[in-house]
C-alpha cells in the first residue's frame, strides 16, 4: 500500500459517517437473502433491511442455534417480517447447492441477495474441499452462490418489471493485495492452484487481501455477463469495522479501538449498496458512493487476470461441483 493510499484510508475512517437507509425507502412485498447474517455486519444489514418493511428475510448461516438467536432479535424489531433461518456452509458444495435449490423452489420471489459470508485467518488452513480457507470461503463459495442465485433474481425481475439486486461484500484491502500472486502465479497451474499451495502463504493478512481481490475481479466479470435491466450487481466496501471478524488478529482489534466504524455503520454501507445506486452495475462502492477501482484492476493486465480467473473458476466448479450444473449458466 502506498503512503497516499494509507492517508486516504485513515481520512475516510476518521471523518466519514455512514448514513442509514432513508425512512422513505420501503421494501414491502420483497424478499432478501443475507449470508453470514447471524453476527456482525451481516446481522446488522439484515436487521436494517427488515426494518424497512421487508416481507421475507432468509438468514444464511452455518450454525442453526446462532441463526435462531439472530432471528428472534430481528423479529423483536420487525415482527411483520417472515424471517427464516437456512443452513449454509461455504465449505460444502452440497450445502451451497441445497441452499440455492431452496431459493429456487420455496421462494415466490427474490429481490435482494447480499453475499456477506467470509473469514479471516493469519495462518494457513485448509477447507474440507481441499482449498485454502480464504480461497474456499471468501471466493469460491461466493462465486458459486452468485451464479446459482441468478435465476430466482432474474425471474423476480421479470415478474416485477424492475431489476433485482445482488451485492457482494468487498474490502478496500483488495487494492493492497500483492498482485504478483495473480499476475504471475507459480507452479504453472493457475491462480487458484497457486493460492491453494501452502508455499504461497505468508503468515498475516496477505491471503485475506488476495481473496477480496478475487471477489472484486469475479464481481466485475459476472456483471459483464448479466443484463442490468434484470440484475444489478455491485461490490461495496464497508470500511474498517469493529467486529468479531478480526478476533484472530490482535493487532487489528487494537487498531480498531481508534479508527474503526461501528458494526452498524459498516452495515449501512452494505444496505446502501443493496438498495440504492441504480447505476452501480459492476461498480465498487466506498463511503456510500461509486468509486474508482485500483489502477491494476482497471488495467489491461488486470482485465487479463480477470478473464483468466473467470475461466479457471468455471472449470474448477464444473469439475468439483457437477451437481450445480454450472454449464447451464455459461
257 labelled catalytic: no
Q: Which cell numbers hold the place of 93?
A: 458444495
Which of 43, 139, 181, 208 is an active site residue?
Answer: 208
- Residue 114 in contact with residue 169, Cβ under 8 Å? yes
Contacting residues for 151 by C-beta, under 8 A, at least 6 apart: 104
Contacting residues for 164 by C-beta, under 8 A, at least 6 apart: 110, 111, 112, 113, 153, 154, 156, 157, 230, 231, 232
CB atoms within 10 A of CB 262: 13
Angle between helices 250-259 and 3-15 (to 10 degrees): 60
CA 177, CA 208: separation in Å to the nearest integer? 9
Which of 37, 78, 212, 280 is an active site residue?
Answer: 212
208 labelled catalytic: yes
How big is the CA angle at 133 (ends 171 and 293), to the nearest 5 degrees?
A: 20
Residue 286 phi/psi, 5-degree rounding, is -150, 145
Which of 127, 164, 171, 286 is an active site residue?
Answer: 171
Q: Tell me the catalytic residues.
A: 171, 208, 212
Amino acid at each position: 500500500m502506498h503512503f497516499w493510499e494509507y492517508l486516504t484510508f485513515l481520512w475516510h475512517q476518521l471523518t466519514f459517517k455512514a448514513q442509514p437507509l432513508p425512512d422513505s425507502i420501503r421494501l414491502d412485498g420483497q424478499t432478501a437473502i443475507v449470508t453470514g447474517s447471524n453476527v456482525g455486519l451481516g446481522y446488522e444489514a439484515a436487521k436494517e433491511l427488515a426494518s424497512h418493511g421487508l416481507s421475507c428475510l432468509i438468514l444464511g448461516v452455518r450454525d442453526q442455534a446462532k441463526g435462531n438467536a439472530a432471528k428472534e432479535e430481528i423479529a423483536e424489531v420487525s415482527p411483520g417480517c417472515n424471517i427464516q433461518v437456512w443452513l449454509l456452509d461455504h465449505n460444502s458444495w452440497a450445502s451451497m447447492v441445497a441452499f440455492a435449490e431452496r431459493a429456487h423452489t420455496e421462494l415466490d420471489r427474490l429481490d435482494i441477495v447480499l453475499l456477506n459470508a467470509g473469514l479471516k485467518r493469519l495462518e494457513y488452513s485448509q477447507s474440507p474441499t481441499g482449498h485454502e480457507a480464504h480461497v474456499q470461503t471468501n471466493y469460491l463459495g461466493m462465486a458459486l452462490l452468485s451464479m446459482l442465485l441468478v435465476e430466482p433474481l432474474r425471474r423476480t425481475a421479470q415478474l416485477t418489471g424492475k431489476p433485482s439486486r445482488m451485492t457482494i461484500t468487498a474490502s478496500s484491502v483488495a487494492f493492497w493485495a500483492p498482485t504478483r500472486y495473480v499476475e504471475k502465479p507459480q507452479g504453472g497451474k493457475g491462480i487458484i492452484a497457486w493460492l491453494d499451495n501452502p508455499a504461497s502463504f505468508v503468515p498475516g493478512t496477505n491471503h485475506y487481501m488476495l481473496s477480496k481481490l478475487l471477489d472484486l475481479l469475479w464481481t466485475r466479470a459476472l456483471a459483464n455477463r448479466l443484463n442490468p435491466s434484470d440484475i444489478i450487481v455491485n461490490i461495496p466496501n464497508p470500511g474498517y469495522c469493529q467486529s468479531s471478524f478480526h478476533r484472530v488478529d490482535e493487532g487489528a482489534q487494537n487498531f480498531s479501538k481508534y479508527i474503526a466504524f461501528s458494526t452498524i455503520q459498516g452495515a449501512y454501507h452494505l444496505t446502501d449498496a443493496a438498495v440504492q445506486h441504480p447505476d452501480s452495475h459492476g461498480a465498487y462502492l466506498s463511503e456510500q458512493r461509486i468509486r474508482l477501482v485500483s489502477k491494476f484492476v482497471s488495467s489491461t493486465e488486470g482485465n487479463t487476470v480477470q478473464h483468466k480467473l473467470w475461466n479457471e473458476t468455471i472449470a474448477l466448479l464444473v469439475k468439483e461441483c457437477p451437481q450445480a450444473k454450472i454449464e447451464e449458466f455459461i
